[in-house]
Amino acid sequence: MITIFKLLGALALLIFGMKTMSEALQKMAGPQLRHVLGAMTTNRFTGLLTGMFVTVAVQSSAATTVMTVSFVNAGLLSLAQAISVIMGANIGTTLSAWIMSAGFSFNITNFVWPAFLLGIILIHIKKRRYVGDFLFGLSFLFFALGTLNITGRELDLAHNTALISFFTSFDSGSYLTILVFLLIGTVLTVIAQSSAALMAITMVLCTSGVLPIYQGIALVMGENIGTTLTANFAALSANVQARRAAFAHLLFNVFGVFWVLCLFYPFVNMVCGFAGIDPTSSSQEVARLSFALATFHTAFNVTNTLILIWFVPVIERICCRIIKPRESDDEEASRLRYIQSGIMKTPELSVFEAQQEIGVYVERTDRMLKIVSEMLDMKDAEQFEKEFERVRKYEGISDNMEAEIGKYLAEVSDAHLSDDTKGKIRAMLREINEIESIGDSCYALARTLNRKRGSNVVFTEAQDDSIRKLFSMLDSSMASMASILKGNVDNPDLSFKKVIKDYCNELRNQSIVDVDSHEYSYVYGTIYTDIVNECEKFAGYVENVIEAKLGLSR
């Protein structure tokens, strides 16, 4: 039982080590990697190289896929470019198999102790703590691999008659056996939610001399399908582009498994020849078996990519034809367009998604302002009521978006984040709070206009002109805010708040004079002043959003 727990604990440590290492790398180079993804995908071949480079850098094909989907959603990448990046990610992820192969080829645990020591020192040095996190993750990974290797020998699986008889009951030369083990690999990967863990188990079984290499390679093929099924399950609740990207990944791996099955024994024999082993021999140098599995994993993904890279447009059309937008993907019905619950598992990348979602939030509040502006001159009572209900609906959506984005950011902030990312999250929480206030302000303006209509109040021509000018100024301030939130922060002009405030003071003073001179009644003046006051508040909320984005204090 102790040995079994050592095996399970080592697998847990392996998964944790890879996760820690990947997150540390993304904290060190996340923004630069996103820039690389956006700038180096001009065609399918540069996209392939980019996906491979980024995945090798962060040691996570899932993280690369998430970043890719983010850019597709933002309109920075086409689906075709995203598919080529995902192909590259499949090649990049084969490095993990080689790292595991090294762990099973020699006792690598002797090298982890200095890395642990150096890692803890760097963690306590603020500027180098992410390097320390990376070393800790890498050390955990190697320590887990060494433990798995030792535990596999302690289990003495080569003399376990029950296990040996189970595997020998399958005919290695039968396609049915290969299909059974492919299915087992797929199911276990979906259950474990980690292809790396299944790859490690496969290497333990093969290097112990229990599992023949043909069945081991069939398990590896199943792992390739299982890891894409996990992403597709997670994408079920996401938007259409995320579902298409996940489906493209599945299509890519399923096609690869199909053609490898058609040429299974010749292809596997060729790969094993490269690794220096005879797959039909019962006596093997077991250390080379892990090398053979890593060689197959690389050959499978590289060959599959070389075949399919020429058919990216075809894959894109298939994905678009099969994965169609749901009715719930409509802009208003879908509360969140970019945040993808269940897919975004990397905190540093989740912040990027939240930034995109805040952009949508601004678009919707800007639309509220435009509807209210149209209500100013609306004569038809039925049309006015219809537009008023639209503003009411948008106000409800605004409240929900603030709550959902805030909840998402709160969940992200629970993770271990860089100081820069923590600062961004604090700024975004302030931004969404102020944007929600803009939505409330729009609704307050609509209610005042509705009260004006219900009271049969008719403004003078001068009052109408003043309010139209005030709304035009608010519209310009919203455009400035949207531009700054998109990253155009060079020489931001914040003078609009003072200009609007001075103009509102001028209008209020003029209204007092007009009421006193009996140009219109006090009731008319009250409604007019309420609109002016709300417009001034509106401008203040816009200024607060900009200050939050620029890191300015209140």
Rounded Cα distance, 502 and 488, in Å: 27
% of residues, the chain, pLDDT over 70: 79
Picking from 173, 185, 175, 281, the residue whose alpha carbon sits closest to that of residue 226 is 185
Domains and CATH numbers, the chain: 2-322 (no CATH), 347-550 (1.20.58.220)
- pLDDT attached to residue 230: 64
% of residues, the chain, pLDDT over 90: 20
Neighbours of 127 (CB within 10 A): 7
Rounded to the nearest 5 degrees, what angle is found at the Cα of 116, between the Cα atoms of 114 and 119? 105
Once rounded to an integer, what is the mean pLDDT over residues 479-497?
Answer: 82
**Confidence band for 424, pLDDT divided at 50, 70 and 90:** confident
Q: Residue 406 CA to chain centroid, in angstroms?
A: 17
By the 8 A CB rule, do 465 and 377 touch? no
| Token pair in block for residue 40 | 């180096």
Neighbours of 527 (CB within 10 A): 18
Q: Within 13 Å and on the Cβ side, how many CA atoms surround 476?
A: 13
- pLDDT attached to residue 71: 64
**Confidence band for 2, pLDDT divided at 50, 70 and 90:** confident
Block residue for tokens 């009996």? 518
Query: Which range among 3-17, 203-217, 228-242, 508-522 shows the weakest confidence by mean pLDDT?
Result: 228-242
DSSP string for residues in 28-44: HHHHHHHHHHHHS-SSH
By the 8 A CB rule, do 260 and 296 touch? no
Tell which wins on pLDDT, 185 or 163: 185
Model confidence over 227-278: pLDDT tens digits? 777 667 766 656 677 778 878 888 988 999 999 999 988 998 888 888 778 7
Tell me what the pLDDT averaged over the chain comes to: 80
- Indicate whether 344 pLDDT > 50: no
The verdict on pTM exceeding 0.85 is no
Block residue for tokens 């080829």? 105
- pLDDT attached to residue 442: 94
- pLDDT attached to residue 439: 93
Rounded Cα distance, 431 and 206, in Å: 55
| Token pair in block for residue 480 | 């400035």
Beta strands in 134-278 (DSSP E): none
- pLDDT attached to residue 328: 46
Model confidence over 118-152: pLDDT tens digits? 888 888 887 777 788 878 887 887 787 777 767 76
Model confidence over 448-482: pLDDT tens digits? 999 998 888 888 889 999 999 999 999 999 999 98
Model confidence over 272-301: pLDDT tens digits? 888 778 777 655 555 577 788 888 888 998
By the 8 A CB rule, do 312 and 80 touch? yes
Q: Burial code of 486-496, b = ≥16 C-beta within 10 A, e = fewer?
A: eeeeeebeeeb
Rounded Cα distance, 364 and 397, in Å: 9
Q: Element (H or E) spanning 263, and its range?
A: none
Rounded Cα distance, 449 and 391, in Å: 12
Model confidence over 378-387: pLDDT tens digits? 888 889 999 9
DSSP string for residues in 90-158: HHHTHHHHHHHHHHHHS--GGGHHHHHHHHHHHHTSGGGHHHHHHHHHHHHHHHHHHHHHHHHHHHTGG
Q: Which amino acid is at 225?
A: I
